[in-house]
Amino acid sequence: GAGVSQSPSNKVTEKGKDVELRCDPISGHTALYWYRQRLGQGLEFLIYFQGNSAPDKSGLPSDRFSAERTGESVSTLTIQRTQQEDSAVYLCASSLARGVSTDTQYFGPGTRLTVL
């Protein structure tokens, strides 16, 4: 079946503008994750959604970052007043559920954000 999809694949924006990134998880996956990966660095956890539970926002770096997800469908990550340090690849992953012994995450291709 279809994997995790993300859009846009690339986004170039000017400093101070807001951007919205989209993630379509695998159908039936209740858990959804957002990560950030700066050039040459590892993955940095941002936020996690599990069904209708309150999201785990512990990884969001500042209040300029927010994310939404309606039910078990699409999620959007919004970055307000973008800064140059926000330039990175933003990765989305989904899994059947985090509350199981094994929770294999499947990743999308990412959105490469460049803030000029």
Out of 7, 26, 43, 64, the only residue in the binding site for other proteins (CB under 8 A) is 43
* Residue 93 binding other proteins, by CB under 8 A: yes
Please, are residues 97 and 35 in contact by the beta-carbon 8 Å criterion? no
Nearer to other proteins by Cβ, of 20 and 103: the residue is 103
Please, are residues 1 and 27 in contact by the beta-carbon 8 Å criterion? yes
In the complex, the smallest distance separating the C-beta of residue 81 from other proteins, rounded to whole angstroms, is 27
Nearer to other proteins by Cβ, of 68 and 103: the residue is 103
Q: Phi/psi at 72 (nearest 5 deg)?
A: -115, 35
* Residue 84 binding other proteins, by CB under 8 A: no
Query: Cα dihedral sign for 100, 41, 91, 82?
Result: positive
* Residue 21 binding other proteins, by CB under 8 A: no
* Residue 105 binding other proteins, by CB under 8 A: yes
Return the closest-CA partner of residue 62 out of 83, 76, 41.
83
How big is the CA angle at 51 (ends 35 and 23), to the nearest 5 degrees? 40
* Residue 55 binding other proteins, by CB under 8 A: no
Binding site for other proteins (CB under 8 A): 4, 33, 35, 41-43, 45, 48, 56, 91, 93, 98-110
